[in-house]
Amino acid sequence: MNLLSFSELAKLPVIKFYEESFRKATGVPLKIVPPGAAAQRLEVGLGENAFCHFVAGTPAGCEACHEAQSRALEGAANRRAPYQMNCFAGLTDVAVPIMVGETHLATMLSGQVLRREATERDFAMIARMVGKETDEKWRREARQAYFVTPVVTADRLQAIVQMLGLFADYVGEYATHQAIARGPAEPAAVTKAKDYIEARLAEPISLEQVVQHVGVSRFYFCKLFKKATGMTLTEHVARMRLEKAKTLLVNPSVRISEAAYAAGFGSIPQFNSVFRRYAGVSPTEYRESLKRELPSSANLTG
């Protein structure tokens, strides 16, 4: 099987959907990073903890953050399972590997949360460790960020790790389907068409638009696409929209109708029909199956 590289995986729209959905559902940042140890400290997405940013702005803090991240990433890689690591400042980092068979394709890096309420004593100790105990401006701004850092219970952290595990399993499955679909020698016109479709799933997509974009005749393209993928263009678009909708449905705050229209379906009856045809269950049944795999949604957002 012609597996995707990390750079190819990172460009897939589904990755951005997952990162945003996870952050909105939990209030915790998520970043999908290359497998293995990082050469330098990694920023954890748009929702990165502001206090971590202040700490990492100091030489000692940056080095300590890099060490904690590296240990979390290496732990996940070695165990092929989720790994938690407490940094010197008392925050927990979480790393979850994305596997395709025995291949470690990428890692989900998250966390930056406290396990107990912050105290003035804790903050003073951290300021001394990073050499900022006499920097009043740094202390004032960093202290404000420190005391709004999310505090999670053991149950909520378990829920977050389980949600990451579901994401990792799905992204690994998605990457496998992408590798199988493109084949070892996919025609350039088919690859170009897939990229065009994936970037515009939320918009109406016609065969005429795709044919004009790839620059071949309609008859030739239909024959080529069917031979390369085993599907018609309409079937491929429906499947891609289904995968996007499934991604959105993981977020408990997204209504089923919102997921349908965001994925590009023109109506709810059409969405329900496609979902049942390819997933084997209704959207409601699919969401219920996700809930059974996770603790209550209150544990994610509370």
Distance CA 112, CA 124 (A): 19
pLDDT tens track for 246-255 = 888 877 778 9
The Cβ of residue 199 has, within 10 Å, a number of other Cβ atoms equal to: 10
Percentage above 70 pLDDT, the chain: 93
The dihedrals phi and psi of 111, each to the nearest 5 degrees, come to 105, -125
For residue 294, give Cα distances in angstroms to 51, 104, 258, 284. Answer: 29, 24, 22, 16
Distance CA 175, CA 77 (A): 18
Distance CA 273, CA 127 (A): 58
Task: Give the CB-side neighbour count of residue 67, counting CA atoms within 13 A.
Answer: 10
How buried is 231 (Cβ within 10 angstroms: 0-12 exposed, 13-18 middle, 19+ buried)?
A: middle
The Cβ of residue 115 has, within 10 Å, a number of other Cβ atoms equal to: 14
The Cβ of residue 254 has, within 10 Å, a number of other Cβ atoms equal to: 18
Tokens of 70: 């590296």
Residue 183 has pLDDT above 80, yes or no: no
Average confidence score pLDDT of the chain: 88
Strand partners, 32: 108
Helix (H) or strand (E) holding 257: helix 256-262
Q: Which of 19-28, 42-51, 71-80, 248-257 has the highest mean pLDDT?
A: 71-80
Helix (H) or strand (E) holding 18: helix 13-26
pLDDT tens track for 141-155 = 999 999 999 999 999
Residue 1 has pLDDT above 90, yes or no: no
pTM above 0.85, yes or no: no
| Model confidence band, residue 298 (pLDDT cutoffs 50, 70, 90) | very low
Residue 118 has pLDDT above 80, yes or no: yes
How far the first Cα of the chain sits from its last, in Å, is: 42
Average pLDDT value for residue range 58-85: 94
> Which residues neighbour 287 within 8 Å (Cβ) at sequence distance 6 or greater?
249, 256
Q: Which domains does the chain have, with CATH numbers?
A: 6-172 (3.30.450), 186-299 (1.10.10.60)
> Which residues neighbour 197 within 8 Å (Cβ) at sequence distance 6 or greater?
205, 210, 236, 237, 240
| Model confidence band, residue 297 (pLDDT cutoffs 50, 70, 90) | very low
